[in-house]
Structures are given as structure tokens and as C-alpha cells.
Amino acid sequence: MDTPELSPAEARVLASLFEKSITTPNYYPMTVNAIMAASNQKSSRFPVMSLSEGEVGKALNTLAELRFCSREDLGSRVPKWRQNFKHRLLLKDHSAALLAMLMLRGAQTRSELRSRAETLRGPTTSEQLDEAVEFLADRSQPLIVTLPRQPGQKEARLAHTLCGEPDVTEVAAPAPARSSTSRDELLARIESLEARVQALESGD
């Protein structure tokens, strides 16, 4: 199966749709405004984006053409969108969680991926992590690659290939200090609430 190459905006929109379908199922499927808010979150995203409503709409239309998502108009004044991420790429839960997290937060080490992807039903053991990574890397068209370890890095990082070959020198997202964990969690909650408000105002 050929895997189409996505733009960074398309990858972010798709991964955000997938994430919210799991973390906030009561507000899924999602309106364009809600997807825009999720894509532009300042926490749990790297790089941080500022996609416009038009850019998100364009990304969704392209993703629909590629069968990564679909639009629903029934029972709502505002069109809503569903993702087809796992089925389109023939992924299982663990591998889908890892790939989506790489699309949301850029290149990451295995330990970072394991801890962060748990919220998306990702692997919880080292064995499950290794199995999911191998599944993604050993396909005829690998969906992830291991980047060469850069000076000063203790671990090699993994990166997704849905936007083409990743930049080997890509700057990693800075690891949050322990003292900032609660702040990051609070920001994520605030942004999630803002997305819900936008969804309600749009006709959810």
C-alpha cells in the first residue's frame, strides 16, 4: 500500500483529530474551529503552529481526498469531521498512538514516546513499545525512522516519515522541568476547555 506524503499542516490536523477522538470523545466528531484549536495548542505540540481556519479546512479537504478523514453534515448546523487514521494506514492501537505522538510533538526518544503515548492507548511495557516501533519501521514504506544521535544526546530519537524524510538535525522539543509539569497539565486542560467552548459555539 502506497502511503501518501502529507504536509506538516495535514499531519498536525490528522494527529489532532486522532488525539481528541480518544481524549475527548464527547466532543467528537469535531468542527473546523475545534480542530484548529487542537492543532494550535501551545502545550503538547512541537513545533507550535498557528494554522488559520482556511488552512485547517484545506488540510481537511486534502485528507478527505486521501481517505484519512471524512466529513459529516447530518444532524448538525456545522459540518463535523471524523478521522480514519488507523484503518487508512492499517495500524493497531499501540502503533497508531506512537505515530500520532510523533506527528504532534516531533522527534522523540523511546522513553519519551512511551510515557506520552499512554494517553492515546499506547504501549505500557518495553516489550509492547519495541513491538510497535518494529511494526512501524519494518514496513515496505517505513512510517518511522531512527535519527542519528546528535552530540549531547543520550538517546537516539525516532521520527515519522509521513511528511517525507525527516531532518536529521531537527531540534528536539525541550524536556519540561519537573516543576513545570503541573503548569503544562493546567495549560492542556485550559486549551481542551477552550476547544470544547468553540465546538459548542459552532453548533456541537
Q: What are the pLDDT tens digits along the chain (204 aa)?
A: 689 999 999 999 999 999 999 999 999 999 999 999 999 999 999 999 999 999 999 999 999 999 999 999 877 789 999 999 999 999 999 999 999 999 999 999 999 999 999 999 999 999 999 999 999 999 999 999 999 988 888 899 999 999 999 987 665 555 554 444 455 666 666 766 776 666 666 655
The pLDDT value given to residue 32: 98
d(CA 60, CA 198): 18
Backbone angles phi, psi at 195, to 5 degrees: -65, -40
For residues 82, 88, 91, 93, the Cα torsion angle rounded to the nearest 10 degrees is 10
User: Grid coordinates in use for 134?
Assistant: 518494529
**DSSP symbols for the chain:** -PPPP--HHHHHHHHHHHHHHHH-GGG-SB-HHHHHHHHT-SSS-SS-----HHHHHHHHHHHHHTTSEEEE-TT-SS-EEEE-HHHHHT--HHHHHHHHHHHHH-SB-HHHHHHHHGGGT---SHHHHHHHHHHHHSSSS-SEEEPPPPTT-SS--EEE-BTBSPPTTPPPPPPPPGGGHHHHHHHHHHHHHHHHHHHHHTT-
Q: Which domains does the chain have, with CATH numbers?
A: 8-86+181-201 (1.10.10.10), 91-173 (1.10.10.10)
Q: Which residues of 42-56 are buried (b: 16+ CB within 10 A; e: fewer)?
A: ebbbeeebebeeebb
The per-residue pLDDT for 136 is: 98
